[in-house]
């Protein structure tokens, strides 16, 4: 391994001078600068980041703790983080907590999640990262569960009540816009297949829906609200219930694409045509949404952007820029495909 020392010897200067040209600090004459640069080139010198980090107490490495990498949103967020990191000289140290695989749907049990944390995270904290990005599996509150100590941290796809920085998407607005779209298409009987009701996204999305219904002076029918559990089966079952109800809705707002897929299956099975007989709108824009038949109209989550904004926030915290926004909320976008149409007369 070539060291600064080797460069210095060959170029007949001190190590300090070499370091100065490497970092563009100090004052070095153009002549020696050129000379040193040439030697560096010749010897194919690669700086040792470890040594540098030890001295300057900065690693230019960001820890990324993800509750579950295999969850659909994680890789897209990581991709966003990576894009910014690459362009700004940061590396990413990744740790996967695997909460979903280890706890399943038990993860609302905060104590269990907490117990999962230490082994996975201690290591990453000790590795001397400059800051941390925490990617949850649901946009739920993780305060009290995660203790990152004094390390600057930005939470995304989850948040901490009150303290801490977070980047998320706007559930309320997204549901509002989805509902508004349905209403504008002419629907007035709009059912909802919700996720688990003790979760923030479910609550916020319901409120967005409710707001849109009220703003457009439609009647709110509680029998149109069904509570699912985010899974395919519940979308399927609840849609059957909806179709068997006294008044049949002309549109269904499913709170994720997986349940929407279940809803589509249920409708198709009953011989209904989508969107002629019933419209369905999903949430997430999962990859499969354009592989199913008919292709699903859905609200796309700004995942890539969330990753980008999370690391931007973190970097601005690291740079002590005071203006950093505490809780960013990004907008979802409506992806129009083939499951929404005007209702029959």
Can you tell me which of 108, 123, 215, 325 binds its own copies, judged by CB under 8 A? 123
Residues 30-69 that bind DNA (CB under 7 A): 31-33, 45, 47-48, 51-52, 54-57
- Could you tell me which residues come within 8 angstroms of residue 54 by beta carbon, excluding any fewer than 6 positions away? none
Residues 289-308 that bind its own copies (CB under 8 A): 290-293
- Could you tell me which residues come within 8 angstroms of residue 203 by beta carbon, excluding any fewer than 6 positions away? 197
3-class SS at 29?
coil
Q: Which does 258 bind (CB under 5 to 8 A by kind): DNA, its own copies, none?
A: its own copies
Pick 126 or 246: Cβ nearer DNA: 126
* 9 in contact with DNA (CB under 7 A): no
Q: Where are the alpha helices (DSSP H) in 250-296?
A: 257-269
- Over its C-alpha atoms, the chain yields an Rg (Å, rounded) of 26
Q: What is the DSSP secondary-structure string of 98-120?
A: -HHHHHGGGGG-HHHHHHHHHHH
What distance in Å separates the CA atoms of residue 156 and residue 97, rounded to the nearest whole number?
Answer: 15
Q: Which does 197 bind (CB under 5 to 8 A by kind): DNA, its own copies, none?
A: none
Q: Which does 69 bind (CB under 5 to 8 A by kind): its own copies, DNA, none?
A: its own copies
Pick 1 or 219: Cβ nearer DNA: 1
Residues 121-180 that bind DNA (CB under 7 A): none
State the minimum distance, in angstroms, from the CB of residue 194 to DNA. Answer: 50
Pick 129 or 212: Cβ nearer its own copies: 129
State the minimum distance, in angstroms, from the CB of residue 128 to its own copies. Answer: 5
Q: Where are the alpha helices (DSSP H) in the chain?
A: 4-11, 15-23, 30-43, 49-56, 72-87, 99-103, 110-126, 171-184, 200-215, 232-244, 257-269, 303-318
* 12 in contact with DNA (CB under 7 A): yes
What distance in Å separates the CA atoms of residue 159 and residue 323, rounded to the nearest whole number?
Answer: 19
3-class SS at 344?
coil
Q: Which stretch binds its own copies (CB under 8 A): 16-24, 124-132, 140-148, 218-226?
A: 124-132
Q: Which stretch binds its own copies (CB under 8 A): 32-40, 134-142, 239-247, 285-293?
A: 285-293
What distance in Å separates the CA atoms of residue 299 and residue 256, rounded to the nearest whole number?
Answer: 9
What distance in Å separates the CA atoms of residue 254 and residue 174, rounded to the nearest whole number?
Answer: 12
Beta partners for 284? Answer: 300
State the minimum distance, in angstroms, from the CB of residue 26 to DNA. Answer: 6
Q: Which residues bind its own copies (CB under 8 A)?
A: 46-51, 53-54, 59, 61, 64, 69-70, 72, 74-76, 78-79, 82-83, 86, 89, 91-96, 98, 119-120, 123-128, 232, 258, 261-262, 264-265, 268-269, 286-288, 290-293
């Amino acid at each position: 391994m070539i060291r600064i020392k080797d460069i210095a010897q060959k170029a007949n200067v001190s190590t300090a001078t070499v370091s100065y040209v490497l970092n563009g600090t100090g004052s070095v004459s153009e002549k020696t600068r050129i000379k040193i640069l040439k030697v560096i080139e010749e010897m194919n010198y690669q700086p040792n980041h470890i040594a540098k980090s030890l001295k300057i107490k900065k690693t230019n490495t960001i820890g990324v703790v993800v509750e579950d990498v295999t969850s659909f949103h994680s890789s897209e967020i990581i991709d966003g983080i990576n894009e910014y990191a690459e362009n700004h000289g940061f590396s990413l140290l990744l740790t996967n907590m695997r909460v979903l695989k280890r706890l399943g749907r038990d993860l609302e049990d905060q104590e269990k999640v907490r117990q999962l944390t230490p082994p996975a995270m201690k290591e990453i904290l000790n590795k001397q990262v400059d800051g941390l990005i925490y990617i949850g599996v649901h946009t739920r509150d993780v305060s009290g569960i995660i203790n990152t100590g004094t390390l600057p941290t930005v939470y995304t796809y989850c948040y901490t009540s009150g303290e801490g920085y977070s980047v998320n998407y706007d559930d309320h607005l997204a549901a509002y816009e989805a509902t508004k779209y349905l209403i504008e298409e002419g629907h007035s009987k709009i059912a909802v297949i919700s996720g688990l009701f003790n979760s923030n996204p479910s609550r916020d999305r319901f409120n967005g829906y409710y707001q849109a219904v009220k703003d457009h002076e439609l009647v709110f029918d509680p029998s149109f609200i069904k509570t699912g559990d985010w899974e395919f089966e519940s979308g399927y079952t609840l849609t059957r219930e909806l179709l068997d109800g006294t008044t049949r809705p002309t549109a269904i707002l499913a709170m994720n694409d997986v349940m929407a897929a279940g809803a589509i299956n249920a409708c198709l099975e009953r011989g209904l045509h989508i969107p002629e007989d019933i419209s369905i709108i999903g949430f997430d824009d999962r990859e499969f949404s354009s592989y199913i038949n008919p292709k699903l109209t859905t609200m796309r989550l700004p995942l890539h952007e969330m990753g980008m904004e999370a690391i931007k926030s973190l970097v601005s915290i690291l740079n002590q820029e005071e203006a950093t926004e505490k809780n960013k909320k990004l907008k979802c976008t409506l992806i129009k495909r083939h499951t929404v149409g005007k209702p029959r007369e």
